[in-house]
Amino acid sequence: MKHAGFFFVLLVIVSALVAPARAADPRYPDWPCVQPKVPELSTASMWDGPSIADVGGSWQNDPKVKDLVALIAARRTPMDAAQKAIAAFITGTADEKQQKAKEVFAGVFDTLSAQRSEVMGGLERVSRKEMDLATKIEADVNDLHAIEDKTGADQAKIKTLGSEIEWSTRIFEDRRKTIRYVCDVPTTIEQRIFGLARAIEQALN
């Protein structure tokens, strides 16, 4: 019986941890973050410059644009270095500058939006695993209670099941901390797109 109290508390904690993630937004039951899920970004919320509707994927045809996008989209490139690289590239006549700005922004938006979708998909995958694990811990704790409640309970079985629950809980807790950390990444990517969009517009004006 000595495990019963501890595992009951554990079960309550695990249930409480899983519940808010499930309840946050009924449209996205697997979304584990406090931050609301915005599935897709729109260029209109980031970009005040000329329309990029006619650019499509054509920015990838120019190796110079492709290289610049790879450089400025990378998180390791400091923002001021990215701004300088943008200003150095967006030069020429007004028409040339406009075309370059459109292609660079389209490249930044496509690249970083794809990264953001990948991170968000990963978060939902881990979140589903976490919910499955919570269900398993719940079932194991119930099994343990059932065994402990019997007279002449099998102590070896209790010990094995007990350490399994402890192990699962540790994994659960580690994953939860990782999820919380990764939940900030989509926002960090949005900040990057927004900052680069501003720098491109500044170079254009």
Interface with another protein, residue 58, by CB under 8 A = no
Residue 195 touching another protein (CB under 8 A): yes
Tell the burial category of 29 from Cβ atoms under 10 Å away from its Cβ (0-12, 13-18, 19+): middle
Q: How many residues does the chain have?
A: 205
Token couple for 63: 């190796």
CB nearer to another protein: pick between 43 and 60: 43
| 194 phi, psi to nearest 5 deg | -60, -45
46 in contact with another protein (CB under 8 A): yes
Pick from 48, 149, 154, 173 the residue near another protein by CB under 8 A: 48
Residue 56: left if φ>0, alpha if ψ -120 to 50, beta else—which one? left
Helix axes 79-89, 94-149, angle to 10 degrees: 150
Q: Which stretch binds another protein (CB under 8 A): 42-50, 113-121, 134-142, 151-159?
A: 42-50
Binding another protein (rule: CB under 8 A), the pick from 15, 58, 178, 191 is 191
Residue 105 CB, shortest distance to another protein, in Å, is 13
Q: Is 66 in the site for another protein (CB under 8 A)?
A: no
Question: CB of 148: closest distance to another protein in angstroms?
Answer: 40
Whose Cβ is closer to another protein: residue 61's or residue 205's? 205
91 belongs to the binding site for another protein (CB under 8 A): no
For another protein, give the closer residue by CB, 2 or 27.
Answer: 27
What is the distance between the alpha carbons of residues 107 and 103, in angstroms, rounded to a whole number?
6
Site membership for another protein, residue 81 (CB under 8 A): no
50 near another protein (CB under 8 A): no
Angle between helices 63-73 and 79-89 (to 10 degrees): 160
Looking at the Cβ atoms of 113 and 168, the one nearer to another protein is: 113
Token representation of residue 82: 């990215």
3-state SS assignment for residue 148: helix
